[in-house]
């Protein structure tokens, strides 16, 4: 690292926000990072967008109109999206804490232990 010329180095920010109380307004809805931006500490960002797309398609297909479809989609996804987003942020704080002893390995929760892999966007009720 010390041998790397400074002009070859770069940094970028990881920005955080609280989950949104609503994803849909009128005929527009959010999915993926627009709905639930993830810090990269659970490796779930891309899969969440794929899940959103599957559930949105199923919700629209099952609904009698687009308003109902968007409402079904948001009802089916907002809690999970917010949960995964928060847990990713917890992992970020654990991994980059100025006080590493504050977050012990016993407090670590993996994606598997959080039950993230048990979710099935093809069968979740819409």
- Map out the domains of the chain as residue ranges: 31-118
From 48-52, 74-78, 101-105, the region with the lowest mean pLDDT: 101-105
Whether the pLDDT of residue 101 is over 80: the answer is: no
Residue 11 has pLDDT above 90, yes or no: no
pTM comes to: 0.85
How would residue 105 be classed by pLDDT, with cut points 50, 70 and 90? low
43-70 pLDDT, tens digit per residue, is: 999 999 999 999 999 999 999 999 999 9
Q: CA 69, CA 62: separation in Å to the nearest integer?
A: 7
Rg (CA), the chain: 18
Question: What pLDDT score was predicted for residue 3?
Answer: 93
The count of C-alpha atoms lying within 13 angstroms of the C-alpha of 19, restricted to the half-sphere facing its C-beta, is 18
Q: How many helices (H) and strands (E) does the chain have?
A: 2, 2
Give pLDDT, residue 104.
66
pLDDT of residue 113: 83
Q: Is 12's pLDDT higher than 60?
A: yes
pLDDT(103) > 90: no
């Amino acid at each position: 690292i010390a041998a790397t010329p400074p002009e070859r180095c770069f940094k970028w920010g990881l920005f955080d926000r609280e989950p949104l109380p609503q994803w849909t307004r009128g005929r527009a809805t959010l999915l993926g990072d627009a709905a639930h931006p993830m810090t990269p500490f659970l490796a779930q960002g891309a899969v969440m967008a794929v899940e959103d797309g599957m559930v949105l398609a199923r919700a629209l297909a099952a609904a009698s109109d687009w308003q109902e479809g968007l409402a079904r989609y948001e009802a089916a996804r907002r809690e999970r999206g917010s949960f995964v987003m928060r847990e990713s942020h917890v992992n970020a704080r654990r991994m980059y804490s100025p006080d590493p002893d504050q977050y012990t390995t016993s407090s670590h929760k993996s994606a598997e232990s959080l039950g993230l892999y048990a979710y099935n966007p093809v069968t979740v009720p819409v």
